[in-house]
Amino acid sequence: QVQLVESGGGLVQAGGSLRLSCAASGRTFSSYAMAWFRQAPGKEREFVAVIRWSGGSTHYADFVKGRFTISRDNAKNTVYLQMDSLKPEDTAVYYCAADRVVVTKESPYWGQGTQVTVSS
């Protein structure tokens, strides 16, 4: 079992930065793939970034490549999303999720979400 709690969201101007954190509890955190998704009002939840259990493999959605960086610290049971050069269209609730191998919208473990608002 994995429990996830996100933090770090807030209001920022376009071009600014935020770092989201996702704290996980559970004995096997280091063996899970971790991902960030986001959901804007009136839109479906969409994939943002994923990091494999070892931290050596990452993958990003095209719309965040070069701006967002996902990382993890297994010793702290935490995954991060560094968001730079933020745009108003990045406004959404950001969720972290976990799964054994592949993280999808159907994965079993989700946090409660943290709001990110980017003003123009």
Cβ contact 39:47 at 8 Å: no
> What's the confidence (pLDDT) of residue 55?
65
* pLDDT tens for each residue of 42-85: 999 999 999 987 767 999 999 999 999 999 998 898 999 999 99
Q: Is 90 helix (H, G, I), strand (E, B) or coil?
A: helix
Tell me the pLDDT band of 27, cut-offs 50, 70 and 90: low
Both tokens assigned to 96: 């972290």
Q: What does DSSP assign to residue 91?
A: -
User: Token digits for 43?
Assistant: 């839109």
Model confidence band, residue 87 (pLDDT cutoffs 50, 70, 90): very high
4 vs 31 pLDDT, higher one: 4
Token reading at 45: 């939840």
Q: Are 5 and 111 in contact (CB under 8 A)?
A: yes
